[in-house]
A and B are shown apart, each in its own frame.
Chain A
Amino acid sequence: DAKTTQPPSMDCAEGRAANLPCNHSTISGNEYVYWYRQIHSQGPQYIIHGLKNNETNEMASLIITEDRKSSTLILPHATLRDTAVYYCIVRVNYGGSQGNLIFGKGTKLSVKP
């Protein structure tokens, strides 16, 4: 089972920041936090990942709390095309890890005009 807890759904106004929370209270020291999204049954799309520092890329920012028990994905200016299911996944990175991802139910983000 997934080791994360996410709200099942959220709404966001177009042009505003979307802040998607994720709880991962049992995360261990060698586990990374990954975010993927799935737009209407398309293949999942990688967004961002982090270990303990905050991360930013062209798509989003990832804020991880100091105790690493929760994180927030931030889409700074949500557009209608950001409507999707967002998955928060914790994954061990050990030598030889094959990248298997355990998906939960995610958060369905609806961006509204």
Chain B
Amino acid sequence: EPEVTQTPSHQVTQMGQEVILRCVPISNHLYFYWYRQILGQKVEFLVSFYNNEISEKSEIFDDQFSVERPDGSNFTLKIRSTKLEDSAMYFCASSEIGGITEAFFGQGTRLTVV
């Protein structure tokens, strides 16, 4: 069964450093998303991406964040200057089309900012 793949599974970084989280969405999917989940809290929407541009973003997704689809298979989330409060699980998801189809989530990257 096709799946969304995220790397690395766990990343530790120092405060102020840049990090790039990587995702390989399901190959025929066109819509891509990032969500995050701070430990013990709700899953929160960050951004959706379609046709090589951001289609929606939440207020969490400020200027420190950016997304990119650098080639035909990868989808990345960059955090420019990490803060302690960026420590969370970050989930990538993809869907075949928008609307009512289901989103498939990856297993997440645990980001720890020290």
List chain A positions with a Cβ less than 8 A from chain B: 2, 32, 34, 38, 41-46, 49, 87, 93-105
Is residue B93 within 8 Å, beta carbon to beta carbon, of the partner chain? yes
Count, chain B residues at interface, CB 8 A = 28
**Do B91 and A98 touch across chains, with their CB atoms under 8 A apart?**
no
The interface residues of chain B lying within 8 Å CB-to-CB of A102 are 45
Task: Tell me how far the C-beta of B103 lies from the nearest C-beta in chain A, rounded to whole angstroms.
Answer: 5
State in angstroms the CA–CA spacing of A98 and B42 once bound together: 20
From DSSP, what is the main secondary structure of chain B's interface residues? strand
List chain B positions with a Cβ less than 8 A from chain A: 4, 31, 33, 35, 37, 42-45, 48, 50, 55-56, 89, 91, 93, 95, 98-108
The 5 nearest A-B residue pairs measured at CB? A43-B105, A46-B102, A98-B48, A103-B43, A93-B100
State in angstroms the CA–CA spacing of A34 and B93 once bound together: 16
CB contact under 8 A between A103 and B42, given known A43-B93, A43-B107: yes
**B48 touches which one: A32, A45, A99 (CB < 8 A)?**
A99
From DSSP, what is the main secondary structure of chain A's interface residues? loop
**Do B95 and A99 touch across chains, with their CB atoms under 8 A apart?**
yes
State in angstroms the CA–CA spacing of A95 and B103 once bound together: 17
State in angstroms the CA–CA spacing of A98 and B103 once bound together: 10
30 contacts between A and B (CB under 8 A): A32-B100, A41-B37, A42-B108, A43-B4, A43-B91, A43-B93, A43-B105, A43-B106, A44-B43, A44-B91, A44-B105, A46-B102, A93-B99, A94-B99, A96-B55, A96-B98, A96-B99, A97-B98, A98-B31, A98-B55, A98-B56, A99-B33, A99-B98, A99-B99, A100-B45, A100-B56, A101-B45, A102-B45, A103-B42, A103-B43
